[in-house]
Amino acid sequence: MFAQLKTSATQFFASITNLKAVTPTIPQKSGEKLFIPTFESVSSVIFWVMWAVFLAFYGLAVKSSEIYSFNQACFLFADYFVNNVLIVLFNIGYLHLSKNQLKQQPYAEVAKRFLTYSLVLTPIASLLANVVVMLLFNNLIEPVTLLIYSVFNMVVGVLFFGLLLFYFASQDKKIAEQYAIYQQDLLEQNERLKARITPHFFFNMLNTVQYLVEQDPIQAQNMLRSVLSLYRACFNGEYEIAFQDEIDICKYYLNIENYRFQDKLLVSWQLPEEDLLYDMTIMSLTLQLVLEKMIVFIVEMTISVTYIDVIVDWQDDWVEIQVRTSILQELSNKTKENIANNLTFNHQTQVLKNAYGEESSIDYHYDGADFVVDIQYPLKDIAV
């Protein structure tokens, strides 16, 4: 059952750049409404049997001071065990037979019906269990004791099943909240996809391809290869990738933009040694999206040459990436205002935190000459 809950939760993940998970449809989501293990699987049956055994031993522990013989212990254990089995069988059996109908009801109605039936079914199960035990052990139980025991089981049973119902209902609420969060993430990623099919990128790319087809077919072929490689990286479903692969994605993107900006955009890379580079990992498109925002917010706002330096360092299980972008002094105030009002890395930061821990971060600042984006996250060197 808990594996099913985990599966339901992971299915809420959906992404433009990660196609491993599928967003559930409304019928699929509502179909998992009754979060209580019934008798639909062997694991559920084993769960309830083990629960009955646990309560039987617990009952023996409570009554240990009143037990004077092995036969008495066996009788009490059988009494408790049969009581628990029949109480579970009656109550969870009701849920199992009625689950299709209950799934169509709101939780308040499910709780009302379940607890009402428990008030009736629990004492019946308790009485039947005591009759079975008396027949098996030929040990009569006084009617008053039997009545008290049945009332006690009814109260405890209703409280237990009520708490169980509340717990699993709370799980549904949590998953519903996660569903809303992941849907919001999906919308944000859809917005990023839209950004690639707006005039900022897609139409400029098409215009460039059209020009190159007419003027330089070989260059047009090279650009189309870069376009295909970039979009394949966006849709290939990979999440955490080798750092070298992320660099290749960035270079595909920069190759496309270089056809538009020509000598206006110059990018330099300061990377670790090749052996270290192949051991590093990063979340797919993290660095590429940072470069993309640098181009949108800075390069497109100037007519002069813009230098972007990408500096990557990995020491003491800590990755530090700096993306430094030059800003002309006369444009710095306008650029800083635009950046402050519109630039965010919230989604990329959350992706890093989810993968590498809360210490991960993406921050940016202006040092008077360059606009600097700092990407940091812990990463152990498994090769050591």
DSSP string covering 309-372? EEEEEEETTEEEEEEEEE--GGGHHHHHHHHHHH---HHHHHHHHHHH-TT-EEEEEE-SSEEE
Give pLDDT tens digits for 222-241: 878 877 777 776 666 557 88
What pLDDT is stored for residue 34 in this prediction?
52
Mean pLDDT by 10 residues, the chain (384 residues): 40 33 40 60 84 82 81 80 81 77 72 75 77 70 66 70 71 76 68 54 76 82 79 66 88 83 88 86 88 85 87 93 82 70 82 90 86 93 60
What pLDDT is stored for residue 149 in this prediction?
64
148 to 44, 56, 88, 212, 312: CA distances (angstroms): 31, 18, 19, 91, 74
What pLDDT is stored for residue 187 in this prediction?
66
Amino acid at 113: R
Looking at domain 197-378, its CATH superfamily turns out to be Histidine kinase-like ATPase, C-terminal domain (3.30.565.10)
What pLDDT is stored for residue 8 in this prediction?
38
For the chain, what are the domain ranges? 2-187, 197-378
**Which of these, 296, 309, 293, lies nearest to 369 by C-alpha position?**
309
Whether 348 and 289 have beta carbons less than 8 Å apart is answered as: yes
What pLDDT is stored for residue 13 in this prediction?
31
Whether 23 and 186 have beta carbons less than 8 Å apart is answered as: yes
What pLDDT is stored for residue 331 in this prediction?
66
What pLDDT is stored for residue 139 in this prediction?
64
What pLDDT is stored for residue 268 in this prediction?
94
What pLDDT is stored for residue 313 in this prediction?
94
DSSP string covering 126-153? HHHHHHHHHHHHT----HHHHHHHHHHH
Give pLDDT tens digits for 28-85: 444 444 556 777 778 888 888 888 888 888 878 877 887 888 887 887 788 778 877 8
What pLDDT is stored for residue 137 in this prediction?
67
